[in-house]
Amino acid sequence: MNDTNWLKNFNDSQPLIIAGPCSAETEDQVLKTAHELKNSKVSVFRAGIWKPRTRPGGFEGVGEIGLKWLQKAKAETGLQMAVEVATAAHVKLALEHDIDVLWIGARTTVNPFAVQELAEALQNTDKIILVKNPVNPDLKLWMGGVERFSQANIKNLGVIHRGFSTYEKTKYRNNPEWQIAIDFKHKFPNLPMLIDPSHITGNREMIFQVTQEALDLNYDGMIIETHIDPDHAWSDAAQQVTPNRLKEIISELVIRKETDETDDYQQKLKFLRTKIDDFDAKLLDVIGKRMKVAEEIGALKKEKNVAVLQNKRWNEVLEKMIAEGTQEGLSEVFIIQFFKAIHQESINHQEKIFNQL
């Protein structure tokens, strides 16, 4: 995939900032919000025109009329405009109204048929196309969505990390699963990645924290839902901030350097990374020895005709590890994920023993 240089059309000395309401509600609301953001560091104004809702009956967007409001906001403020598109019909209307940035929502990215339809509708466009991660934590599905747009000769591509759905209750609306985003950046290092802290947190009080975490990971920008009266927003009220609060967040964010070339930094970093490498090697050695014990347990179970999975034992181990791990400063989410992976690998080793003749 070719390098994506469209960020240079904005102020490339700072992260790209896209902001605006979750939904365009009225012309007055759109224009007032856009004017509030005009003299900030916001470069692109966003507003949902078509809103996919989980269940019928909710506010599903104002539709085409909202595009005219965005045209007016662009003429009055000079801000570029961004909307979500989910069908070829949406694309046609957005292009007819000269929308600058089109993003593909998480509910759409999960469907390769829908993504292909959009890619064909947008073929050869010079508009900026941003692909949100799919709702489920599937790296290949996210990659596949981007590849479909790339194959449609769309050069101005980027992605939005908006978190992933999970059955487990966490402090997030959508769990960030940072490692998936990091893996994506490894696969496409030249593709700009923006953070969507509004959808990750679902809580305006956490917007700053998650945005800073993303900037610490060298993200290229952010898309933050901003409303002149968020408590009375027609959709997703809890995760929207006021324009004034957005300006405070922007001013408080710390922009990190990609690296430091001084000898002092490089020498200290090399020393610490050597220590990390040593610990990683020891971890693999210990885990490998643990799996050998798991195989011995598997052989014993096979001999006595006992089932591989022992839920009571597993729950006891997990509860103990959470208690001990948190005392070591490890998060409960990490402990659960880590030991679930260990447990699954142990089961795989035991099943291998059971399948041996």
Residues 140 and 223 in one domain: yes
pLDDT digits (tens, 9 = 90+) for 146-183: 999 999 999 999 999 999 998 777 889 999 999 999 99
- Angstrom distance (rounded) from CA 325 to CA 30: 48
- Angstrom distance (rounded) from CA 288 to CA 55: 47
CA atoms within 13 A on the CB side of 83: 33
Strand blocks (E) in the chain: 16-20, 44-46, 80-85, 101-104, 128-132, 157-161, 193-195, 221-225
pLDDT digits (tens, 9 = 90+) for 268-319: 999 999 999 999 999 999 999 999 999 999 999 999 999 999 999 999 999 9
- Tell me how many domains the chain contains: 2
Residues 57 and 139 in one domain: yes
Residues 66 and 168 in one domain: yes
Residues 190 and 214 in one domain: yes
Is 257 domain-assigned?
no
Residues 286 and 190 in one domain: no
Is 258 domain-assigned?
no
Per DSSP, the chain holds a count of helices (H) and strands (E) of 13, 8
Q: Are strands 101-104 and 80-85 parallel, antiparallel or unpaired?
A: parallel
Residue 1's pLDDT is 60
Residue (of 284, 243, 263) closest to 20 by Cα position = 243
Write the secondary structure of 66-129 as one string of H (helix), E (strand) and C (coil). Answer: HHHHHHHHHHHHCCEEEEEECCHHHHHHHHHCCCCEEEECHHHHCCHHHHHHHHHHCCCCCCEE
- Angstrom distance (rounded) from CA 149 to CA 102: 12
Residues 279 and 342 in one domain: yes
pLDDT digits (tens, 9 = 90+) for 225-247: 999 999 999 999 999 999 999 99
224: β partners: 19
